[in-house]
Structure 1
Amino acid sequence: MMKNKVQLITYADRITGQDINALTTLLKGPLEGVFGGVHLLPFYNPIDGSDAGFDPIDHSEVDSRIGTWADIQALGENHDLMADLIVNHVSAQSYQFQDVLAKGKQSEFWDLFLTKEDVFPNGMSEQEQQAIYRPRPGSCFTPMQCGDGQTYDFWTTFTDNQIDINVKVEAGIAYLNNVLTKFSENNVNIIRLDAAGYAIKQAGTNCFMLDETFGYLDNLSKQANELGMETIAEIHSHYQTQVEVAKRVNMVYDFALPPLILHSLFNNDVDALLKWLQISPRNCLTVLDTHDGIGIIDAGPMGDKPGLLNAQQIDTLVETMHANSNNQSRQATGAAASNVDLYQVNCTYYNALGANDLDYLISRAIQFFAPGVPQVYYGGLFACENDMDLLARTNVGRDINRPYLNTETIEHALNKPVVKGLIELIKLRNEHPAFAGEFSAHGAEGECCLTWQLEEKSIALSVNFKTRDALITQVNGDEETTISLNALLV
């Protein structure tokens, strides 16, 4: 079972400028004792595809430029280690799909990939196509001509370089089983089920988080558990869907938390945040930032379902983020850059807060006090600002928050007061015994208090959003100590 300690989300190469061994050295050196686990973002061949590793050519092979499976094993010896099982798709450059392009239906790998015909054998109406939920604009099908002279509509939920797998057939099952086995043999003990909500497609539905999808996730989780691994379902959707998914898998992400914290800080209004903390899944990982953008859909309305925030509040939230980042996020979001998402704003969390150190520490403190195991993205750990140079070079929106660091930039960042303060908060979250106890939250009119209690020990975070007074109070029997977040910035 994973430790109840803060985890680091990172690419091996982008945090160090080197490889997996360099990341292990960093965790044993300047970051020793800071993190209980690591979510190692795609390390498969290749790490630098069209979606930064989420379009693997070979999902079972470590990119030799950053290491080997032995290096993965070494990293997992002293840390919980999470890896991505990319459930929904594989690269169009994979040898399997290249064989399909060469031979068409005569390829031995034909069954591995999903076509429109597989789901709509009798044809698809315009109404059925419009009903399909897709996280990016445009069609979810890409017509491709194969060597047999026929053109087939392949299912491409995300991009035309990411070909969807048919997870229902023997070929798809065997493909994912091979990756699961490889993980279990190399000290990976947590699996992030990437894009899992899109895996099952069915005619006459929106092809997202269907009843059958829940059953599929159930079975996949049980299979991983039997191999000694826990699963995390990565699903961006309405907050009620997240609550339901949490009942069917080991853990989920609390993707509603990041926009709710921003809303609270922007409007001095804690109502939506407190409502969510009363009902949010307890078996979750919390994040503020990830390799993706800042999720918005998770807090907003969907169809006729009201959200934790209404449509106007969501619009105000997004516009405030753009303003705080001097419109840099606008250049990386929506139609402004390739590889876009409809439900995310591409921006560092630090810049979404206007690079305000105190607001950033308050945000992290709320995250650490919310139920769940916290994760901190490497860019967030070092309070990185938007990488406009990288965005300009690649025109990939998410690259604004996927910087390439090195020893020198890390050394500089570790001396920044906001980073020092954040590391102190991480250590407090890791070490205080009350975080294994009972959680409670209360507040009103711009103030909230989040408390953890274990027998005679307690720890509480009190935030006045109007004055920005933020205090952490620790009680051990008759002893009481208080820390001001502002004091951590000295």
Structure 2
Amino acid sequence: MPVKKEIRAEFIKKLSFLYGSGEADRIFDGINDIINFYQPLIYKLSNNAGRAKFRENDIAFTTYGDQVSSENEKTLKVLNKFLGNYVSGLIKIIHILPFYPYSSDDGFSVIDYKEVKKENGGWEDIVSMGKNFNLMFDAVINHISAKSGWFGKYLAGDEAFRNFFIETGPSIDLSGVIRPRTLPLLTKFDTSKGEKWLWTTFSADQIDLNYESPDTLLAIIDVLLFYVSQGARVLRLDAIAYLWKKPGTKCVHLPETHEVIKLLRLILDESAPYVSIITETNVPHKDNISYFGKNGDEAQMVYNFSLPPLLAHAILMENSTFLSSWASSLEVPACGNTYFNFTASHDGIGVTPATGLLPQEEIDFLCKSTLARGGNISSKKNENGTESPYELNINYLSLLKADNDSSDAAAEKFMLSQAIMLSMPGVPCVYFHSLVGSVNFTEGVKISGAFRTINREKLDFKTLVKELSEKDSLRRKVYTRYRELLSVRAGEKAFSPDASFSFPLLHPSVFTVLRGFEKNENPLIAVHNLSSKSVRVSLKNIFEKYGAFNLFDLLSRRTIVPDEKSEFSVNPLEILWLKCSRP
């Protein structure tokens, strides 16, 4: 690939920072060879697409490749059938959780980066899905399976893999390392060269890769561009905050990690500018948004990890104060960058991202609520050797549902949370089990012994279709309401990631989002009553600042007419998406 002089200089600068000026030219040549190899394949897929730009109809959907199954069918084909029947026209981005062969952690201990798990199907099934949706692939590049070919070659003494993993020893002081697990950090392995202690941040089956070795970096770049050649439009960098290790530091958010992300962004900008990066960093909010980069030169999207715990707290307490305060602190990302909003995922609800945003007693309340509703709490190891809650392992609907709630009440409360998520600035992401109204999979936890299984139930396709068709089922009530919200959102420019946003506190029990007011961008007021009682809200301050508007609720299809004081009533748990037009 012909590289402009200034772009080559940028590559050399980044590589020199990571590996020294003496190695930079050689590594750049290796990167350029990889780009040149994949460029013809990428060009065919690009369709002359320009740089990635997200719009109001960019709504994502997270699912496992084997989320739904049917007898004698590959699971990706069954998933494609589900997507065609239930999300087509509503969802634009499909995030397929790791569909590669794996040995543990439901896919996040990858055996072979370039293979599709045979029970799922083949690359042809992925490519077929990519014809109807933009695909997000997981790049599980912090670690690889202990049963992978790469690790097997390392154990056998293959010189090409000699530096792929991080050798250290129990005598090295690693007490300052911060990690989201309480398992031992180091694991001992027998190799052809004797016993070796290796870095294993997440488990003994997930061996951390050594990015101090340029050969490791080049191998991973090859994997990422292979994913692009197979149709990936978004690359999700899993657990990326822990990528670079340096004894004597916390080994999280290191400058070298940020530089690697900048390097990957530069590679994609030059070879596949239509492809975006999203970073998965389940950490406090300030650290999380640092992955946008100082000049927007890292990830185009970051997970908005503080939203799920703060939103759950607000609904359980029927009080939006902490949620509104945090939301009001959200900064406008650099042009082209945006937040990735969600409530539920294949993992738990992060506690760490609420640190400093909720008082400790409110975090304790969330933990107690989780346990009371059938969930569990996972812990992490702190810098001082103590342990503290890391995530709430519970289905989001189950967390919000009171014991005495009917299916109607449970659906109403849950959909309130989803409407708030959909109204936030950024790209929204719907988890499979949220769309179909699932609850705690407690039986699965008993079988697997893993807390995260509670929100990872795999479903029979025919049974799911039957439950979605039953008039009074919780699944149908949630799915029907979700379809309505998604349809409305996708057609409103006020929900574009680029539209301005603010969060006036109209009432302690109401969460309000103003979208599109600053530049007269088809303005909209999203009003969400978290309370089980009706409340009165006033738009006086909004009208004084922006002028009076006619208000039309896009969901109930009715006009809202405030009284002479600019006030009106909002029913219990009501969602109002008020489109504003001049009288």
Q: Where does residue 80 of structure 1 map in the other structure? A: 134
SS at match of 2:241: helix
Q: Within 5 Å, give how 1:56-95 maps onto structure 2.
A: 56-95=110-149
2:166 is aligned, of 109, 114, 117, to: 114
- Aligned-pair CA distance for 1:107: 4.3
Residues 267-294 of structure 1 deviation map (CA, whole Å, 9 limit, x = unaligned): 2222221122123355111110111111
> CA-atom RMSD, angstroms?
2.7
Contact 1:382/1:413 (CA < 8 Å) preserved in 2?
no
Structure 1 spans left out of the alignment, 5+ residues? 301-306
| Structure showing greater Rg | 2
Q: Where does residue 303 of structure 1 map in the other structure? A: none
Structure 2 spans left out of the alignment, 5+ residues? 1-51, 381-386, 403-409, 470-475, 540-547, 557-570, 576-583
SS at match of 1:298: helix
Distance in 1 of aligned mates of 2:306 and 2:514: 20
- Aligned-pair CA distance for 1:3: 4.7
- Aligned-pair CA distance for 1:341: 9.7
Match status 1:124 vs 2:193: no
- Aligned-pair CA distance for 1:457: 3.0
Contact 1:369/1:451 (CA < 8 Å) preserved in 2?
no
Distance in 1 of aligned mates of 2:533 and 2:415: 11
TM-score normalised by L of structure 1? 0.87
Q: Where does residue 275 of structure 1 map in the other structure? A: 325
Match status 1:352 vs 2:407: no
Contact 1:73/1:186 (CA < 8 Å) preserved in 2?
yes
Q: Within 5 Å, give how 1:180-259 maps onto structure 2.
A: 180-228=224-272, 229-247=275-293, 248-259=298-309
TM-score normalised by L of structure 2? 0.74
Contact 2:493/2:521 (CA < 8 Å) preserved in 1?
no
Residues 49-72 of structure 1 deviation map (CA, whole Å, 9 limit, x = unaligned): 211111111011111221222221
Amino acid in structure 2 at the alignment position of 1:180 = L
Residues 470-489 of structure 1 deviation map (CA, whole Å, 9 limit, x = unaligned): 99x9xx9857235369689x
State which drifts further: 411-420 or 178-187.
411-420
Contact 1:289/1:349 (CA < 8 Å) preserved in 2?
yes
Q: Where does residue 484 of structure 2 map in the other structure? A: 424
Distance in 1 of aligned mates of 2:135 and 2:535: 33
Q: Where does residue 9 of structure 2 map in the other structure? A: none
- Aligned-pair CA distance for 1:452: 1.7
* Aligned length, in residue pairs: 461
- Aligned-pair CA distance for 1:465: 2.4
Amino acid in structure 1 at the alignment position of 2:398 = N
Q: Where does residue 211 of structure 2 map in the other structure? A: 167
Q: Within 5 Å, give how 1:292-441 maps onto structure 2.
A: 292-300=347-355, 307-323=356-372, 325=373, 328-330=374-376, 333-334=378-379, 342-354=389-401, 356-415=410-469, 416-436=476-496, 437-441=499-503
1:483 is aligned, of 529, 552, 555, to: 555
Amino acid in structure 1 at the alignment position of 2:514 = T
Contact 1:135/1:341 (CA < 8 Å) preserved in 2?
no
Distance in 2 of aligned mates of 1:448 and 1:349: 19
Amino acid in structure 2 at the alignment position of 1:445 = P
Distance in 1 of aligned mates of 2:535 and 2:205: 47
SS at match of 2:132: coil
Contact 1:10/1:39 (CA < 8 Å) preserved in 2?
yes
Distance in 2 of aligned mates of 1:382 and 1:413: 9
Distance in 1 of aligned mates of 2:130 and 2:96: 10
SS at match of 1:409: helix
Residues 49-99 of structure 1 deviation map (CA, whole Å, 9 limit, x = unaligned): 211111111011111221222221121122111001112000000122123
CA spacing shift, 1:243–1:96, aligned 2, 3 Å: closer
CA spacing shift, 1:170–1:315, aligned 2, 3 Å: same
Distance in 2 of aligned mates of 1:284 and 1:179: 26
Contact 1:180/1:224 (CA < 8 Å) preserved in 2?
no
CA spacing shift, 1:55–1:253, aligned 2, 3 Å: same
Distance in 1 of aligned mates of 2:535 and 2:77: 39
Percent of pairs identical after alignment? 27
Contact 1:276/1:308 (CA < 8 Å) preserved in 2?
yes
Distance in 2 of aligned mates of 1:92 and 1:469: 56
CA spacing shift, 1:378–1:456, aligned 2, 3 Å: closer
Distance in 2 of aligned mates of 1:236 and 1:78: 30
Q: Where does residue 14 of structure 1 map in the other structure? A: 67
Residues 220-251 of structure 1 deviation map (CA, whole Å, 9 limit, x = unaligned): 22223333221001101111112222233221
Contact 1:3/1:36 (CA < 8 Å) preserved in 2?
no
CA spacing shift, 1:449–1:204, aligned 2, 3 Å: same
Amino acid in structure 1 at the alignment position of 2:276 = E
CA spacing shift, 1:97–1:352, aligned 2, 3 Å: same
Distance in 1 of aligned mates of 2:59 and 2:254: 32
CA spacing shift, 1:293–1:481, aligned 2, 3 Å: closer
CA spacing shift, 1:209–1:54, aligned 2, 3 Å: same
1:140 is aligned, of 185, 206, 231, to: 185
Contact 1:462/1:470 (CA < 8 Å) preserved in 2?
no
- Aligned-pair CA distance for 1:169: 1.1
Distance in 1 of aligned mates of 2:388 and 2:364: 16
Q: Where does residue 304 of structure 1 map in the other structure? A: none
Distance in 1 of aligned mates of 2:413 and 2:236: 29
State which drifts further: 444-453 or 129-138.
444-453
Q: Where does residue 266 of structure 1 map in the other structure? A: 316
- Aligned-pair CA distance for 1:374: 0.5
Contact 2:63/2:432 (CA < 8 Å) preserved in 1?
yes
Distance in 2 of aligned mates of 1:140 and 1:481: 53
